[in-house]
């Protein structure tokens, strides 16, 4: 706790003002970016149900081109139970059609790691993602192609 005595101290006040200015500068310097991928803490809890500005309003479900069908099938079998049929999320897992998972923030390597090794809970409150049993890196490659295509269709690129 800061005593009232301390609050009146002019040096202390100056320090507080300087810190505030630095904080403001740090925040506004990020405004130039076209897209903010880091949501404020309040939107991370619990899951995607709260007003999350990084969440897209409705997931588009376009016809899957033939070349992404193999990935689509594997996604439905191995991922959709938690991440939703179209990557829109579920009670068990977060939406992948979300600005967190834009390729510049979660690279393909993050997908390999997640699927083959699992993920500790960090962005959401769904719990950990367990490694997906029986998947090979070939499967993940196909799944990534499908997910990235669907993300592009949804303006996440």
Which residues lie near ligand HEC (CB under 6 A)? 78-79, 81-83, 92-94, 106, 110-111, 114-115, 119, 121-124, 126-127, 129-130, 132, 135, 143
Instruction: Report the residue number, 8 or 122, with the smaller CB distance to ligand HEC.
Output: 122
Instruction: Report the residue number, 6 or 141, with the smaller CB distance to ligand HEC.
Output: 141
Instruction: Report the residue number, 34 or 101, with the smaller CB distance to ligand HEC.
Output: 101
Contacts of residue 149, defined as CB under 8 A and 6 or more positions apart, other chains included, come to: 65, 68, 71
Min separation Cβ 85 and ligand HEC, Å = 12
Round the CA-based radius of gyration of the chain to a whole number and report it: 21
Min separation Cβ 137 and ligand HEC, Å = 11
Instruction: Report the residue number, 129 or 156, with the smaller CB distance to ligand HEC.
Output: 129
Min separation Cβ 155 and ligand HEC, Å = 18
Contacts of residue 143, defined as CB under 8 A and 6 or more positions apart, other chains included, come to: 71, 74, 75, 78, 79, 111, 115
Min separation Cβ 97 and ligand HEC, Å = 12
With b for 16 or more beta-carbon neighbours within 10 A and e for fewer, the 115-125 pattern comes to beeebeeebbe
């Amino acid at each position: 706790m800061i005593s009232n005595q301390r609050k009146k101290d002019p040096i202390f006040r100056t320090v507080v003002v300087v810190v505030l200015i630095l904080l403001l500068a740090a925040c506004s310097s990020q405004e130039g970016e076209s897209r903010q991928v880091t949501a404020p803490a309040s939107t991370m809890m619990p899951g995607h149900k709260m007003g999350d500005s990084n969440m897209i309003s409705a997931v588009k479900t376009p016809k899957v081109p033939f070349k992404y069908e193999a990935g689509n099938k594997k996604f439905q079998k191995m991922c959709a139970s938690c991440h939703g049929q179209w990557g829109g999320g579920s009670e068990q897992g977060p939406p992948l059609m979300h600005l967190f998972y834009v390729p510049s923030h979660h690279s393909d390597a993050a997908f390999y790691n997640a699927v083959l090794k699992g993920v500790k809970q960090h962005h959401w409150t769904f719990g950990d993602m367990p490694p997906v049993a029986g998947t090979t890196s070939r499967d993940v490659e196909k799944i990534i192609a499908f997910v990235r295509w669907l993300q592009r269709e949804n303006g996440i690129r």
